[in-house]
Amino acid sequence: TDLSPEDARRLNAFDRVFAGSGWNLAVLVRGGLAEHRGGVFPQGVDTDLFKSPLQIQQADIPSMYRIPDTEKFFDIFSGGKLELRKGQDIVLAAFARFARSHPDARLVVAWDNKWNDTVATVLESPHTRGMPAMREGGILDLAPWLAANGVPPGRVIDLGSVPHPLMPAVFSQVDVALFPNRCEGGTNLVAMEAVAAGVPAVLSANTGHLDLIARVGAPNVLLLRDDEGDEEEEGGAEEGPGGRR
């Protein structure tokens, strides 16, 4: 977000500059982009893949992405490359607390990240300790790290790296998706896909997420509140078109 005068000069050499979110555009304008040259061009969702209701039979899902005993658990999905920016440390700390009073809660993660330098940013977290080791082949060894931070193996499903065409199958098996991201330059495609698939998504109220929760007060878009009943400024929730809860 720290743009130099030379950056601004280069931006203004273009007829139009399209940003991935309203927040992204605001950053560019503050950095010197002329307002009349800027616009927002948000990413879209493949609605041939992500649609509600998802009519996917578990028997048709490859075994490595099949979540067992979904009828017995409240499954919370968290995705994205593991790094401080994506906020998985917040998910981990919140789930560890939530799970103590909700024995049927289970965390379903797809946190694969091949870039160990960005994984290492979680060491800066005020909520968790340490970072997961990297196994041979660039696979994150999540279980010991999760356990060290209060989430035992039986309360988490690690899906690893999920091929994009199989994400609808994952969404068909979970109850809610959680995205407490600290920063999204765009509008968080995984969150958009979850909502399109009919999965309620809980989002942090910052950066690119603001475009997704700008309709707070409209049908299916809710502002979360804290335990005291005050408005919670840190997040919003959006139900998918299927109205799942």
Domain residue spans of the chain: 5-40, 58-238
Q: What is the helix (H) or strand (E) element at residue 120, kind and residue range?
A: none
Cα–Cα distances in angstroms (integers) from residue 17 to residues 8, 22, 25, 35, 125, in the given order = 11, 12, 9, 10, 34
* pLDDT for 231: 41
**pLDDT, tens only, 144-184:** 999 999 999 899 999 999 999 999 999 999 999 999 999 99
Give the tens place of pLDDT for each residue, 176-212.
Answer: 999 999 999 999 999 999 999 999 999 999 999 999 9
- Please report, for residues 83, 125, 135, 224, the alpha-carbon distance to residue 234 in angstroms, rounded to integers and kept in the order given: 19, 17, 35, 8
Superfamily grouping for domain 58-238: Glycogen Phosphorylase B; (3.40.50.2000)
pTM as predicted = 0.89
Mean of per-residue pLDDT scores for the chain:
91
